[in-house]
């Protein structure tokens, strides 16, 4: 092929491309929060973002693809984590953070839309799994430290403990529509700690 140096891919992440992505993701988040998953058409997103409709279709293709990219973006924006030195208090802080997120008008609606997308499309689903993996991993050290302090038994599955905190809150969102009160969030943390102490969340292969 003569001089055909196969350029592996000459992407242009500079200026405009990045700006367009930011604008589109912002608009997509707005629409998802305001109108919901089913009312999201890409033309509308493009209009709000002040961007050509073709661009959105070319780069993201489908609603689910857009949600997937939005989740990747969200996962990168890490939230600060408290560290009190007492497992219960750390988990209460986590539970309250989740509660506030789901209670917030914009964030709450946005998460509902994201869940809807994940239930409909495999790509959006795995993006969401990645998002939660990231968020859960941020809080795992709390449990790890509790193990080292002897608060919970050796061989405890740290991820399971963190998941046990959020689970009742998300489930509540699912089965009853109403928002989660602070008491319930604290209860979720308490239940997680008590079960972890009792050795319910042991990794397989530990006594």
Residues that bind DNA (CB under 7 A): 7, 10-17, 20-21, 41-44, 46, 50-55, 57-59, 61-63
Measured CA to CA, the distance from residue 181 to residue 100 in angstroms comes to 9
Chosen residue from 36, 108, 141, 155 binding its own copies by CB under 8 A: 36
Q: What is the contact mask toward its own copies in residues 117 to 156, using x (rule: CB under 8 A)?
A: -xxxx---xx-xx--xx--x--------------------
Chosen residue from 26, 101, 107, 187 binding its own copies by CB under 8 A: 187
Measured CA to CA, the distance from residue 155 to residue 149 in angstroms comes to 13
| CA-to-CA separations, 71 to 37, 44, 92, 194, in angstroms, rounded | 14, 20, 25, 32
Distance in Å, CB of 59 to DNA, minimum: 5
Measured CA to CA, the distance from residue 21 to residue 9 in angstroms comes to 19
Of 74, 175, 70, 93, which is closest to residue 141 (Cα–Cα)? 93
SS3 197: helix
Q: Which residues bind its own copies (CB under 8 A)?
A: 36-38, 64, 112-113, 115-116, 118-121, 125-126, 128-129, 132-133, 136, 160, 163-164, 166-168, 170-172, 174-177, 183, 187, 190-192, 194-195, 198, 200-201, 204
């Amino acid at each position: 092929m003569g001089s055909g140096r196969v350029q592996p891919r000459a992407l242009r992440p500079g200026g405009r491309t990045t700006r367009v992505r930011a604008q589109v993701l912002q608009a997509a988040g707005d629409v998802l929060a305001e109108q919901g998953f089913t009312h999201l058409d890409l033309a509308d997103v493009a209009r709000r973002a002040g961007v050509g409709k073709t661009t959105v279709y070319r780069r993201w293709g489908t609603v689910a693809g857009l949600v997937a990219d939005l989740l990747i973006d969200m996962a990168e924006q890490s939230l600060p984590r408290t560290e009190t030195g007492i497992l219960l208090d750390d988990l209460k802080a986590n539970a309250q953070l989740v509660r506030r997120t789901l209670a917030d008008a914009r964030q709450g609606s946005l998460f509902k839309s994201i869940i809807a997308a994940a239930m409909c499309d495999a790509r959006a689903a795995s993006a969401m799994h990645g998002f939660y993996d990231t968020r859960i991993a941020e809080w795992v050290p709390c449990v790890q430290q509790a193990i080292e302090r002897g608060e919970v038994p050796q061989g405890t599955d740290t991820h399971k403990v963190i998941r046990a905190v959020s689970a009742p809150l998300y489930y509540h969102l699912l089965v009853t529509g109403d928002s989660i009160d602070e008491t319930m969030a604290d209860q979720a943390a308490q239940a997680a700690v008590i079960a972890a102490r009792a050795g319910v969340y042991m990794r397989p292969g530990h006594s």
